[in-house]
Structure 1
Amino acid sequence: MTKVKEPIRTRRPVRTRKPPKGQQVGYLRVSSLDQNEVRQLEGLALDKTFTDKASGNDAKRPQLGAMQSFVREGDTVFCHSMDRLARNLDDLRKIAGPY
């Protein structure tokens, strides 16, 4: 009878999640000056926010353009809802780009 050798067990290194690369960026938009945009991304820890107080009829908004120039690969953009970013699918495609 032959003896069965026990396999040598080695501990695997504990896998930890890497923190997300890049910055956490928020975009807020309200249609009129008297509306409160603060509630849109309340409770999120964001590195930078961009706020427009303008209609969403078109994608030509100053802070939206500034945000698009600011973000880089690896950044995450948070927006309360799609209608805050764009009112129609064509504008949304232009804003989001071919990612």
Structure 2
Amino acid sequence: MAFKDEGKCPFCSEVMTPEVVEENNIRRDQCKCIKCSRLIYVCRAPGCRDYARGGDVYDDEFCMTCSDKIAEFGKNATEKFGTAAVIAGTTLVTAWLTSLNKK
């Protein structure tokens, strides 16, 4: 019976050392939480030791913490890009209107 590194289960939130159910060479190893017996996978975020949810149809790529960090990064990037786009658009319109007044 093989085990992975200690990490947090996304289902029961317990820190545990999961049991490897199915070893894979190409994909992630399928694991089982030893506390709640749910299927889990190692989080794909570099350096993260926690686990992502396994499901019947879809397996999460990232643990809950990393998913939240990625979503927050995307939100911040969108907000910053939106602000930059508004400033650039305002600058272009102002320059265009100024050029019309000079003619």
Q: TM-score, normalised by structure 2?
A: 0.21
Higher-helix-fraction structure: 2
Higher relative contact order (CA 8 A, sep 6+): 1
